[in-house]
Structure 1
Amino acid sequence: MSLETITATPPKTWDATTTTPPPLAPEPTPQPAPTGKRGWLGWLIAALIIGGIAWAKVKYFPSNAGGDKKGGGKGSAGKGAPGGKGALTPVQVYVVAATNLTDQVAATGSVLAEESVIIKSELSGKITSLNIKEGQSVSKGQLLFSINADEAQAAIQKQQYNIKLYRDQEKRQRTLLDKEYISAQEYEQSNNALLTAQADLQSLRATLAKAYVRAPFAGVLGLTTATVGTYVSPGAEITTLSKVRPVKIDFAVPGRFAANVRVGDVVSVVDETTNKTYDSKVYAIDPQIDPVSRTQPVRARFANTNNELRPGAFVRVNLKLGESESALQVPTEAVIPEASGYNVYTVKGGKMVPQKVKIGIRSDKVIQITEGIAVGDTIIRTGILQVKPGDAVKVIK
């Protein structure tokens, strides 16, 4: 193996003074950016991002550049201008004051007769006499009508003859028993026959009494379609009898007020037809709350001396539960219901401050506040939706 000597050839050099250097490679020409679909998408995304940032700045970080300068020029949002920094929201307010408040419960009720009954026949037969004058007053025990009772009278006469026979037999049997001619059992049989006949006579007399129908109490008769000669069956309705002096007022109050109702409480009754008001008194309270409606049935009584109220009429009832001279009430629209209770918006130091409250009696116009505010507090009643906690407000009349 022979080693060859490798001679390195030195790089060529150029003499700039005598020899022209070889030309250099041309520089690359810059290409324009692609203008296809991807380019337009990028511009669109960038525009959306910039727009979103600008909207967030205007919405949450409003600026009032130049607006606070003294004597700001045209278009400046000066102090108090709507939409500008420190803008005052106009609101109407209510100043809390102590007022008189009557604690009462409103309900609907019905008028009932003091006593009312449907007059019916207990026997079958023809009406032989009719003493019913429709719409007229009758006294207790007055005869209203009678039914043919010939059969009952004949049965009673027959039974009286039987009793006479049984009584004579009982006397003879007693004499024989005293002389020990008969046994005690034979005497007891004859005596039992007499007693049974006497009981049957009492039953027949009770049946005869049913043929003569009398008023069970004093009252006013209703209408009737019966006439003399009408054949009636047991249970047939002849007329009605009602005692309308006094009358009862039936109504119910919500269960949460049940503990506040007392016998003797005054009830204001408004007649729906005449719109007149009458005072009555509670005389009975049902011991149970209705499990369906969760209300407490209550009954009052009204003298009805001049027949002011008619049974069956619909009435409005106001039950007074008490009266307060220092109640705090605010307009209904000023109370904001929330999931955790109720709020009102107060004005303190020129700014809106929310305040949790507890409510009591409420009506269409005002609501009683039992806790959360005091006399002299300023409550916002209009413009509630335009303010947030801490916002400066401007009170307007």
Structure 2
Amino acid sequence: MNRTVKTILLLLVLAAVAYLFVSKVFTGTEEQAVAAKSGGPMAQKVAVDVFVVSPTAYQNNITSTGSVIPNEDVELRSEISGRITSINFEEGSQVKEGQLLMTINAAEMQAQLQKLESNQSLYKDMEARQRTLLEKEYISEQEYDQVSNQLATATADIQALKATMAKAYIRAPFDGIIGLRQVSEGSYVTASTPIARIVDVSPVKIDFAIPGRYSQMVREGETITFTTEGSAAEYTAKIYAIQPNIDPVTRTLQIRALFENRNNEVKPGAFVSINLPLREVEEAILIPTESIIPEATGHKVFLVKDGKAAPQMVKIGQRSETMIQILEGIAPGDTIISSGILQARPGSELNIRNVRTTEE
């Protein structure tokens, strides 16, 4: 075989290879076009359920947790040091304001008081005599002033000692229940010795906090409902004090309510679940909670626009078990994806399976 024939055969082989390559490319393109028209894998859409937004009346409720604290709570201590001579209360009993609870030994102070009162009596007699002599000009003004000052000093010393002696008698500062005592009769106590705790539990206070964004929606005098841990009973309390500032760390507003607790059914220290009803919103935007996608910068939903998925940032409000309030980002009439969100991407073609509305 000469060189010319070999060249011709090589050209024929190259032409055959080129023909096969071009045919494969065009055939693949036609198959893709056919697949696209027939809804094959190349044209697969994301199957989703959607929710059509419409305004609806909504009672905005805030749920929170809190604690029960007593109306008044004091740990009894003695202001003076001494030995306990008598204990006049029963542990766990009801006491009245001013009731004598305990006496500290004041024998030395009592003896000192008698001495001062005796001196005071002497100075009174001396002052009376000196005043008579002064009126008759038998003594000078200076001599009279000396006795008068001695009387005034003795009187002041008696008043100071009586004030100190009063501290030997420990009395109830308010009506309440006295707890377990920590001392016994005959014990020596100082100002740092705890004696017992007295608490006023009728009424009790309910301490709780709400998110700062609701600070303009709550007022003193409004009513809350709460339940205690381990009990299904629901109680009603009234807000009487609101912290004037939002905590810059937690971004919450501290609130305190008052519960009468006439039957002592709620114990201080208990954990409570709280429901605070706010004003009703006549035209609120509510969407299913599963439609919300948390983002680093906020929250996002997917809207349906021209059959495609379109992301939209939103500002959320109050949340319930199934619905969440949208404050910004969505308008009535918008359609959002409520199911199939994980497969949706911006611009994804959508296959809508079910359509829900607020009324359903």
TM-score tier, shorter chain, comes to 0.7 to 0.9
The DSSP-based 3-state class of the residue aligned with 1:140 is coil
Decide whether the 8 Å contact of 2:62 with 2:318 is kept in 1.
no
Q: 1:225 aligns with which of 182, 199, 216?
A: 182
Residue of structure 2 equivalent to 1:103? 60
After superposition, the C-alpha distances for 1:46-87 in whole angstroms (9 at most, x for unaligned) are xxxx9xxx9xx9xxxx9562874xxxxxxx676234x133x3
Q: 1:332 aligns with which of 277, 289, 295?
A: 289
Residue of structure 2 equivalent to 1:175? 132
The DSSP-based 3-state class of the residue aligned with 2:113 is helix
The more displaced of 254-263 and 190-199 is 254-263
The more displaced of 164-173 and 311-320 is 311-320
Rounded Cα–Cα distance in structure 1 between residues aligned with 2:274 and 2:299? 29
Which protein is richer in strand relative to its size?
A: 2
Q: Structure 1 residues 342, 214: closer, same or farther in 2, change over 3 A?
A: closer
TM-aligned CA deviation for residue 162 of structure 1: 0.3
Q: Structure 1 residues 337, 118: closer, same or farther in 2, change over 3 A?
A: closer
| AA partner of residue 315 (structure 1) | V
TM-aligned CA deviation for residue 199 of structure 1: 1.2
Rounded Cα–Cα distance in structure 2 between residues aligned with 1:365 and 1:140? 52
Rounded Cα–Cα distance in structure 2 between residues aligned with 1:106 and 1:270? 11
Identical aligned pairs, as a percentage? 50
| AA partner of residue 336 (structure 2) | I
Q: Structure 1 residues 344, 233: closer, same or farther in 2, change over 3 A?
A: closer
TM-aligned CA deviation for residue 325 of structure 1: 4.1
| AA partner of residue 362 (structure 1) | R
Q: 1:188 aligns with which of 145, 165, 168?
A: 145
Q: Structure 1 residues 198, 321: closer, same or farther in 2, change over 3 A?
A: same
Q: 1:239 aligns with which of 182, 189, 196?
A: 196
After superposition, the C-alpha distances for 1:332-357 in whole angstroms (9 at most, x for unaligned) are 22133557765433345654444554
Residue of structure 2 equivalent to 1:65? 31
CA RMSD of aligned residues (A): 3.2
Rounded Cα–Cα distance in structure 2 between residues aligned with 1:241 and 1:339? 50
Alignment of 1:78-227 (within 5 A): 79-81=38-40, 83-85=41-43, 87-227=44-184
Decide whether the 8 Å contact of 2:101 with 2:170 is kept in 1.
yes
Q: Structure 1 residues 291, 84: closer, same or farther in 2, change over 3 A?
A: closer
Rounded Cα–Cα distance in structure 2 between residues aligned with 1:127 and 1:337? 65
Rounded Cα–Cα distance in structure 1 between residues aligned with 2:229 and 2:159? 52
| AA partner of residue 296 (structure 1) | L
Name the structure, 1 or 2, with higher relative contact order (CA <8 Å, separation 6+): 2
Rounded Cα–Cα distance in structure 2 between residues aligned with 1:367 and 1:203? 67
Rounded Cα–Cα distance in structure 1 between residues aligned with 2:296 and 2:162? 74
After superposition, the C-alpha distances for 1:235-280 in whole angstroms (9 at most, x for unaligned) are 3211111110001112223333222221112222231232543221
| AA partner of residue 326 (structure 1) | E
The more displaced of 99-108 and 350-359 is 350-359
Q: TM-score, normalised by structure 2?
A: 0.82
Q: Any unmatched runs of 5+ in structure 1? A: 1-26, 31-49, 69-75
TM-aligned CA deviation for residue 134 of structure 1: 0.9
After superposition, the C-alpha distances for 1:155-206 in whole angstroms (9 at most, x for unaligned) are 1111111011101110111111111122112111111110111111112222
Q: Which has the larger radius of gyration?
A: 1
Rounded Cα–Cα distance in structure 2 between residues aligned with 1:265 and 1:151? 56
Q: Any unmatched runs of 5+ in structure 2? A: 7-20, 355-360
Rounded Cα–Cα distance in structure 1 between residues aligned with 2:312 and 2:249? 37
| AA partner of residue 71 (structure 2) | E
Residue of structure 1 equivalent to 2:241? 284
Aligned residues: 336
Q: Structure 1 residues 246, 322: closer, same or farther in 2, change over 3 A?
A: same
| AA partner of residue 39 (structure 2) | G
After superposition, the C-alpha distances for 1:280-324 in whole angstroms (9 at most, x for unaligned) are 111112223334434322211111112122112222333332222
TM-aligned CA deviation for residue 390 of structure 1: 5.0
